[in-house]
Amino acid sequence: MKVSQTLFKESTLNKCAELASDADRVCTGYIRGQALDALIVGTVATIAFLIAGIPYGPVIGILTGIGNFIPFLGPIIGFSSLIIICFVKGLYMKMIVGGIILACIMFLDSKLVNPNLLSKNVEVHPVLVFLALIAGEQIGGLTGMLVAVPCAAFLKEQFEKYMAKRELAKAEK
């Protein structure tokens, strides 16, 4: 701390502390939103698989929920585990029914639940969340998707602060 106080002005240190606080708040909100989304998807999938009589439904539902913590990994884990379990047991009709159930859950999650949860937790519009995920995937694949929403939320927040300062400066003239 003493080295940074010696090397940098107090205003620079204050700005860095403010940026770190903003980044912390955005990342915490993103993780909270993703965790809640994973819990919802896992719970709904588990209940739906139990009702449909899918073997090992709770296991598939829980794996799907855990996988859903990472964007777009939940469906891969869910469908893979469903196919493996039903194929080994020879329950092809259950595999089709489970696939339809999982496709419906994932569609609703990706279009409604996830963008709304993340928008509330990181305070960005659901369309920006959706666009950030697409851009993140195009730029950096899975890693890009993981950091896209918090980065977009952080940049949005910094832009809003900048605009507020500019408006205040104009109003003072």
- Band (pLDDT 50/70/90 cuts) for residue 115 is confident
47-56, 116-125, 134-143, 153-162: range with lowest mean pLDDT? 116-125
Nearest to 64 by CA among 50, 47, 46, 51: 46
Structure token pair of residue 152: 């977009």
Mean pLDDT, range 146-172, rounded to an integer: 86
Q: What is the pLDDT of residues 52-66, one digit of tens each?
A: 999 989 999 999 999
Domain ranges of the chain: 10-172
Averaged over 99-121, what is the pLDDT?
85
List, in order, residues 6 or more apart from 42 with CB less than 8 Å away: 61, 62, 64, 65, 66, 68
Per-residue 3-state assignment (H helix, E strand, C coil) for 136-173: HHHHHHHHHHHHHHHHHHHHHHHHHHHHHHHHHHHHHC
Percentage of the chain with pLDDT > 90? Answer: 26
Given a cut of 90, whether residue 169 has pLDDT beyond it is: no
Residue 5 phi, psi (nearest 5): -70, -30
**Cβ proximity of 85 and 62 under 8 Å:** no
- What is the pLDDT confidence band of residue 96, given thresholds at 50, 70 and 90? very high
**pTM confidence score:** 0.76
Task: Assess whether pLDDT exceeds 90 at residue 105.
Answer: yes
pLDDT of residue 157: 86
Q: What is the pLDDT of residue 1?
A: 62
Kindly report the backbone phi and psi dihedral angles of residue 71, in degrees, each rounded to the nearest multiple of 5, phi listed first. Answer: -50, 130
